[in-house]
C-alpha cells in the first residue's frame, strides 16, 4: 500500500496553536502522530511519502529516533523545515530517498508530489493528481477553487494526522470528477 502525508511538524510547539491542533503539549502531539501513523501503516513494506516539514529543529538524532518508530518505508519530498538533514548525526538510510519533487503512476493515475501547492503540474491537463502540503488549512478554499479537484492538500492537519492511502485519494478525486 502507498500512503502520503505532509507537515507533521514533530517537536514544533507553536504549530499546536497556529494550526489549532487538538493536542495540549508537543509531547502529546508527537505521541499521537506516531500512534496514528502506525495505526494506518501496518506493513513494513508499505510506502509512505512524506511531503516535507517532518520535524522542526536541527537534531538529526531526534529525527532518527522518531523515524525509527514509524512503520513502513519512508520517502521524503523536502519541505522548508528539513534542517535536521544537515546534521552529521542524521542517518540518511532512514529514508529510501530524498527529493525535491517526484512523479509516478499508480492505479492508472499519474501523481505529482511536491511540498508546495503549484498552479500547474506535469499532467495537469490529463487529470494527474497533485499532492501537496505547506499551507496547512489556511486559505484552503482559495487553493481548492484555484487548483481544482485534482490537487489534494495532504497536510497532517487536513487528513486526521495520519498518512492517507493513495487508494483513498483516488476515490475522493474520482467522486469529485463524477460530480462535474
Mind listing the pLDDT tens digit for each residue in 93-149? Answer: 999 999 999 999 999 999 999 999 999 999 999 999 999 999 987 777 777 888 899
H or E stretch including 169? Answer: helix 166-178
Q: How many CB atoms lie within 10 A of CB 41?
A: 22
Q: How far apart are CA 34 and CA 99, in angstroms?
A: 23
153-175, pLDDT tens digit by residue? 999 999 999 999 999 999 999 99
Q: How far apart are CA 76 and CA 102, in angstroms?
A: 10
Tell the residue number behind the cell numbers 498552479, with chain if given. Answer: 119
The sign of the CA dihedral 172, 175, 179, 180 is positive
Closest CA to 91 of 112, 66, 110: 66
Q: Which residues of 101-117 are buried (b: 16+ CB within 10 A; e: fewer)?
A: ebeeeeeebbbbbbbeb
27-68, pLDDT tens digit by residue? 999 999 999 999 999 999 999 999 999 999 999 999 999 999
- In 3-state terms, what secondary structure has residue 69? helix
pLDDT of residue 145: 81
pTM of whole model > 0.85?
Answer: yes
Tell the residue number behind the cell numbers 463524477, with chain if given. Answer: 178
- In 3-state terms, what secondary structure has residue 180? coil
Amino acid at each position: 500500500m502507498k500512503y502520503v502525508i505532509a507537515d507533521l511538524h514533530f517537536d514544533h510547539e507553536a504549530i499546536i496553536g497556529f494550526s489549532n491542533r487538538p493536542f495540549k503539549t508537543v509531547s502529546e502531539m508527537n505521541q499521537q502522530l506516531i500512534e496514528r501513523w502506525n495505526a494506518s501503516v501496518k506493513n513494513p513494506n508499505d510506502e509512505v511519502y512524506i511531503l516535507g516539514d517532518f520535524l522542526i529543529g536541527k537534531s538529526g538524532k531526534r529525527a532518527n529516533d522518531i523515524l525509527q518508530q514509524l512503520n513502513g518505508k519512508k520517502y521524503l519530498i523536502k519541505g522548508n523545515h528539513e534542517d535536521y538533514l544537515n546534521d552529521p548525526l542524521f542517518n540518511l538510510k532512514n529514508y529510501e530517498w530524498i527529493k525535491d519533487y517526484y512523479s509516478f503512476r499508480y492505479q492508472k493515475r499519474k501523481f505529482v508530489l511536491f511540498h508546495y501547492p503549484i498552479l500547474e503540474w506535469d499532467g495537469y491537463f490529463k487529470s494527474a493528481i497533485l499532492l501537496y502540503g505547506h499551507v496547512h488549512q489556511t486559505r484552503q478554499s482559495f487553493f481548492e477553487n484555484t487548483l481544482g479537484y485534482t490537487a489534494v492538500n495532504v497536510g497532517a492537519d487536513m487528513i486526521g494526522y495520519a498518512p492517507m492511502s493513495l487508494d483513498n485519494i483516488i476515490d475522493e478525486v474520482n467522486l469529485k470528477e463524477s460530480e462535474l
